[in-house]
Amino acid sequence: MKEVFVHPTAVVDEGASIGEGSKIWHFAHVRGGAKVGKNAIVGKSSYIDTGVELGNNVKVQNLVSIYNGVKIGNDVFVGPHVAFTNDLHPRAAGEWQISPTIVEDGASIGANATIVCGTTLGNHCLIAAGSVVIRSVPAHALVAGNPATIKGWVCKCARKIAGRDLPSGTHEIKCSHCHTINVFEVP
């Protein structure tokens, strides 16, 4: 069984669950009640809140905050400085109400993106760097901007590809880079 690596400067609280082969880097903090899958990475100075679930092979880069209410699937890339949220009406005073956020398998979130809670980021979507996501993102969609809007569709290898609608209400993109044929539903 592969060991878990926790850098000496990182803080992993009692009650955190970290899968085999995962690495927690410098000055990161994983709170009790967080679940990190196998072969995952939590980058420098990042924060994994209680209640958060990260799947297998997830890469969380530097300086990321993931809050209670966020569930992340397998093979997800979370770029540096990405900020999740968990309350649509934040105030210093008063109660706190969590709106859940889901990131599906294979999704990628570019550097410094902001993910407003209550959204679902579909499988293999690509959130461009600096995006402010305020609505759910369909599978394989490329979104960018503030607020983020759909700019096209991407392959599993993250290349943007022009595709075609199929009669069945799905969309097909054939990737000229990795030769994968992706078929997925479009909203």
Interface residues with a second copy (CB under 8 A)? Answer: 9, 11, 26-27, 29, 44-45, 47, 57-59, 61-63, 65, 67, 75-77, 79-81, 83-85, 89-94, 106, 108, 110-112, 114, 116, 129-130, 132, 134, 144-147, 156-159
Tell me whether residue 9 or residue 17 sits nearer to a second copy (CB atom): 9
Q: How far is the CB of 80 from a second copy (least distance, A)?
A: 4
Q: How far is the CB of 167 from a second copy (least distance, A)?
A: 30
Which string of DSSP letters, residue by residue, matches the chain?
-PPPEE-TT-EE-TT-EE-TT-EE-TT-EE-TT-EE-TT-EE-TT-EE-TT-EE-TT-EE-TT-EE-TTEEE-SS-EE-TT-EE---SS--SSS------EEE-TT-EE-TT-EE-SS-EE-TT-EE-TT-EE-S-B-TTEEEETTTTEEEEEB-TT--B---EE-TTSEEEEE-TTT--EEEEE--
Tell me whether residue 113 or residue 138 sits nearer to a second copy (CB atom): 113
Q: How far is the CB of 72 from a second copy (least distance, A)?
A: 10
Tell me whether residue 110 or residue 163 sits nearer to a second copy (CB atom): 110
